[in-house]
Amino acid sequence: MTTRQSLHEEWTVVTGASDGIGRALAVRLAAQSRNLVLIGRSAAKLDALSAELHGFGGERRFLALDLAEPEAIDAIDAATRDLDVAMLIQAAGYGSAGRFDQLDPSTEASMVDVNCRAVVALCAMFAPRLVARGGGALVLFSSILGFQGAGGSATYAATKGFVQSFAEGLRRDLLGTGVSVLAVAPGPTASGFAAAAGMSFSAMATADSVADAIVPNLRKNKNLAPGLAASVMRSGLATAPRSLRVRIITPVMRSFASKEHTQ
C-alpha cells in the first residue's frame, strides 16, 4: 500500500488484543514499532500486555471495552478520530459449545453482537476513512467452522459464516480503492477452551504460530487458513457436500464442554 504517511505515523487498531491470536498479533506488531490501539474486554490483561510491550518502539493506546455493548463502537470512534488509522484487525470473538437448546440464550445473542454486529459497525466506521486516505487494510476473522453449519456450536459457526461472506463481499466492493480485505479462517488453536474440551494440543496450532502466518499477509486481498490443521480440514472437506460437512463437524463440536472460548 502506498500513502503519503510513513509507517510510524500510521496506526493499527486491534480488537481482541487481550488474549489469544489478537494478543499474539499485538506483540508482533509492537515489535515492528507500529503505533497501536489495542482493545480488549479485560483491563487487567491489557495492563499485563502494556507491561510486556514496554520498551518497544511506537505509541500505544489501550481501551478496555466489551464489543457486545453498542456504546463501545462510539468509544472506539472517539479514541481514534485524531489518528491516521491504516489497518483494522478484528480478532475479537467468542463462542460456545453444546446443544443449542441447552445453552444460555443471552450468551448466544451476545455472541452475535460481538462476532457480527461489531464487525460490521467497525468496518462501516473505518472503511470510509481508509478509502479517503488512499489505502489501508481490513483483517476479519472467520473460522474453519464458518464454511458449514456445526451442531454443537450452531451459533458460533453461523457467525463465522457471516464474517466469511461479509469479508468476501467487502473485498469486491473495495476493489480498486487501495483497501485490502484479508479473511482469516483459523482451525483448532490451543486455548483455554481447547484445554477444557480435552483436545490434544499436539494436533493444534498455537496462537503464536497462527499470528506468525498472518503477519506477512496482513495487506493482502485473500482468504487465509493458517496452520496445518486448518489447511488439512479445509482441503479435506472442500469437495464434500455441505450436508456431509455438517455431519462430520457436528460430533466433534458436540464432544466439547459447554464453555465459552475466545478467538
Nearest CA-CA partner of 125 in 161, 184, 156, 79: 79
- Per annotation, catalytic residue among 45, 94, 156, 259: 156
Catalytic residue among 45, 94, 160, 259: 160
Catalytic annotation present for 222: no
Interatomic CA distance for residues 47 and 64, integer angstroms: 10
**How distant, in Å, are the alpha carbons of 10, 19, 88, 151 from that of 80?**
11, 21, 11, 39
How far from 157 is each of 125, 194, 217, 226, CA to CA, in Å? 25, 16, 24, 18
Q: What is the structure's pLDDT at 233? A: 61
Instruction: Supply the pLDDT for residue 4.
Output: 40
**Cell (9 digits) for 28:** 508482533
94 as an active site residue: the answer is: no
Determine the pLDDT at residue 232: 57
What is the per-residue pLDDT for 148? 84
pLDDT < 50 stretches in the chain: 1-5, 192-201, 257-263
Alpha-carbon distance of 187 to 73, in angstroms, equals 28
